[in-house]
């Protein structure tokens, strides 16, 4: 049996000790293993505020490791380190050196993805009603084996009080090297107004633009590709309370995105551009009358994408227009203090259109959703929730050549959940879910001649029991089963012909021990899956099975340490028995 790599265990211990020794605000390490694959995510933040200094530091690591005996170890990892050491000139102004380093190393896919960027300079911070942060210095960048150096400057303006009527957030960064210019500007302006007690309005304006210039040929640094991306958004949320306890809400949002790439094609410059526009309108009315609460909503969404290029040989995606209208209604009624009834209804119409008359993707889609819910407290210890859903979806292709692909998708589901809770003794959670999916084409032969319509059905049962013998000892039982089948369907005659079945059963039996904030648990786990198929002679046969048997265990210490490990033996049809192991270790501290 293979254990975790030594370097992973050392990193986890190092983070824990560093956290205790340096008194950082937060340190979190999570190590996950699945057979020969390991994932490590680590984060540590130091925030120290003394009478004369302000020290801030962040470190993040994300690593994916493949390690198998006989194969070379392949690692993909990202590391980010940020530090600022600021001297307090007065209560409002700070300044001092800063450093930021980023490194991406990819041995799993391609070394061409490797990237490194380090920055060192001076930072200044001014705090009053607004927070103004400035940075300037030198940076070094390495991409695709090409190293470049230059200078950078950055400015950030934020509001210290989010409750003000006007809240700005402005960010700008500029990078300059002998051959390239990069910049990012990200600006938001929020305007909140409470006219009177019954009226509220929130206006938000956002603009972001990013320009990135890349080397494409190590032997010719004067030739680069330039990608410029711009995003603009205006959003407004308005609320007004009418008499008779009726509230009106209006939400509107308009956004546009432009993505332009300037590159070289056959030793000459070329440009490809894509513009996207989105418009959202939403009207909501709500009213509460005693135990009855009613909500109505009408929404309109419109999207449009346009692509262009200055060369005929450049292929671009097809333009399209997308429009959706949606009506949502909801009514809930409180039967008594503990019981309630809820009903949701939604109808939606979507229209997808392209300017090219030969494009066969043009279509209309109509959908309905009905969702009733009932919640009852049967006794002081038992609560029962019953819900159902009807989902109807009709797709119609507007091009005659695809009319044979028009279909109805009808999904009917019913779910029951029962929860029993006896404090300090017993908890039982029982869930049953039944679902049927009828996928029916509009134009099709009957009597199972060239029939492609399908039916999918599933039954899911889940039982979780926790029983406590005392304040320290307890047992946990988890049983679940999923039963599925599918086949062809003649909707008009409602004749079903099943062709395959799948059964899966999972079991977990755990014994737990609690002492204060420490919990230790362990026990056996089982899983079985069977796949059946009907042959041409209408006889059912088992075509595949998977059996899993194993043991699991772990511990929890407050919310600071979590550990779990599972080892399973897997036996399946036509293959030798193999072992599967997975687990995780998470360390999290806050001071």
Q: Is the pLDDT of residue 317 over 70?
A: yes
pLDDT in tens, 544-555: 999 999 999 999
Which two tokens mark 18?
Answer: 């560093």
pLDDT value for 591 = 61
How many C-beta atoms lie closer than 10 Å to residue 536's C-beta?
A: 5
Predicted pLDDT at 117:
94
Tens of pLDDT, residues 507-523: 999 999 999 999 999 99
**For residue 155, what are the CA distances in angstroms to 79, 100, 174, 183, 207?**
24, 15, 9, 12, 16
Confidence band of 60 (pLDDT split at 50, 70, 90): very high
CATH value at residue 584: 2.40.170
Distance of CA 105 to the CA centre of its chain: 24
Residue 157: inside a domain: yes
As for how many domains the chain has, the answer is 1
Task: Flag whether the pTM goes above 0.85.
Answer: no
1 is a domain residue: no
pLDDT of residue 451: 63
pLDDT of 3: 42
Mean pLDDT, rounded, for 400-416:
92
Q: At which residue do the structure tokens 């505020």 appear?
A: 49
Evaluate whether residue 435 is within a structural domain: yes
Residue 30 maps to a domain: yes
Give residue 184's pLDDT band: very low, low, confident or very high (50, 70, 90): very high
What domain range is 237 assigned to?
6-590
pLDDT for residue 447: 44
Give the pair of three-digit tokens for residue 551. Answer: 């043991």
In a domain, 216, yes or no: yes
Q: Mind listing the pLDDT tens digit for each residue in 207-255?
A: 999 999 988 877 777 788 999 999 999 999 999 999 888 999 999 999 9
Tens-digit pLDDT profile for residues 19-41: 433 444 678 888 888 888 889 89
Segment 69-124, tens digit of pLDDT? 888 888 899 999 999 999 999 989 999 999 999 999 988 777 778 899 999 999 99
Q: Mapping DSSP to helix (H, G, I), strand (E, B) and coil, where does residue 150 land?
A: strand
Mean pLDDT of 462-473: 95
What is the predicted pLDDT for the residue at 194? 74
Whether residue 352 has pLDDT greater than 70: yes
For residue 298, being part of any structural domain is answered with yes
What is the Cα–Cα distance from 542 to 458, expressed in whole angstroms? Answer: 19
Residues whose CB falls within 8 Å of the CB of residue 552, separated by 6 or more in sequence, listed in order: 508, 510, 522, 523, 524, 525, 564, 565, 566, 567
CA 97 to CA 136: how far, in whole Å?
A: 10
- C-beta separation of 79 from 102 below 8 A: yes
Residue 363 near residue 396 (C-beta atoms within 8 A):
yes
């Amino acid at each position: 049996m293979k254990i975790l790599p030594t370097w992973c265990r050392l990193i986890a211990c190092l983070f824990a000790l560093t956290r205790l020794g340096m008194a950082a605000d937060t340190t979190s390490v999570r190590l996950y293993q699945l057979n020969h694959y390991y994932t490590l995510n680590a984060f540590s933040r130091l925030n120290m505020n003394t009478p004369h200094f302000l020290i801030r530091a962040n470190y993040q690591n994300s690593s994916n490791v493949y390690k198998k005996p006989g194969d070379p170890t392949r690692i993909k990892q990202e590391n980010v380190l940020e530090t600022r050491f600021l001297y307090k000139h007065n209560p409002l102004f700070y300044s001092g050196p800063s450093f930021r380093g980023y490194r991406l190393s990819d041995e799993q896919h391609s070394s061409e993805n490797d990237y490194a960027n380090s920055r060192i300079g001076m930072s200044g911070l001014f705090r009053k009603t607004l927070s103004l942060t400035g940075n300037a210095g030198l940076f070094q960048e390495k991409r695709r084996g090409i190293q470049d150096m230059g200078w950078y400057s950055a400015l950030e303006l934020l509001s210290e009080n989010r409750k003000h009527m006007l809240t700005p957030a402005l960010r700008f960064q500029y990078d300059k090297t002998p051959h390239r210019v990069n910049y990012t500007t990200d600006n938001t302006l929020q305007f909140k107004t409470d006219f009177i007690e019954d009226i509220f309005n929130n206006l938000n304006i956002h603009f972001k633009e990013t320009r990135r210039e890349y080397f494409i040929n190590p032997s010719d640094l004067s030739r680069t590709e330039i990608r410029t991306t711009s995003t603009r958004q205006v959003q407004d949320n308005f609320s007004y309370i009418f008499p008779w306890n009726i509230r009106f809400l209006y939400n509107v949002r308009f956004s546009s995105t432009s993505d332009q790439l300037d590159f070289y094609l056959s030793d000459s410059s070329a440009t490809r551009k894509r513009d996207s526009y989105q418009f959202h309108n939403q009207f909501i009315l709500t009213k509460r009358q005693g135990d009855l609460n009613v909500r109505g909503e009408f929404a309109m969404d419109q999207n449009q994408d346009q692509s262009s290029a200055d060369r005929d040989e450049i292929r671009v995606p097809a333009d399209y227009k997308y429009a959706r209208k949606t009506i949502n209604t909801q009514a809930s009624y409180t039967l008594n203090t503990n019981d309630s009834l809820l009903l949701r209804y939604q109808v939606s119409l979507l229209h997808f259109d392209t300017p090219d008359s030969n494009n066969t993707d043009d279509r209309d889609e109509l959908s309905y959703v009905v969702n009733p819910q009932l919640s009852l407290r049967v006794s002081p210890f038992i609560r029962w929730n019953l819900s159902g859903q009807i989902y109807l979806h009709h797709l119609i292709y507007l091009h005659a050549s695809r009319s044979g692909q028009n279909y109805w998708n009808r999904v009917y589901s019913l779910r029951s959940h029962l929860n029993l809770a006896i404090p300090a003794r017993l908890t039982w959670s029982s869930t049953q879910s039944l679902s049927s999916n009828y996928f029916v084409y509009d134009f099709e032969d009957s009597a199972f001649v060239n029939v492609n319509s399908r039916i999918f059905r599933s039954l899911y049962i889940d039982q979780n029991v926790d029983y406590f013998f005392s304040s320290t000892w307890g047992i946990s039982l988890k049983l679940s089963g999923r039963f599925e089948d599918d086949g062809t369907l003649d909707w008009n005659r409602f004749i079903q012909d099943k062709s395959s079945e799948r059964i899966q059963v999972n079991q977990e039996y755990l014994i737990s021990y609690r002492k204060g904030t420490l919990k230790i648990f362990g026990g056996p786990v089982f899983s079985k899956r069977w796949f059946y198929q009907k042959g041409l002679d209408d006889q059912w046969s088992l075509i595949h099975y998977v059996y899993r048997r194993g043991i699991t265990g772990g511990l929890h210490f407050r919310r600071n340490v979590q550990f779990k490990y599972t080892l399973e033996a897997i036996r399946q049809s036509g293959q030798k028995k193999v072992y599967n192991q997975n687990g995780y270790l998470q360390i999290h501290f806050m001071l």
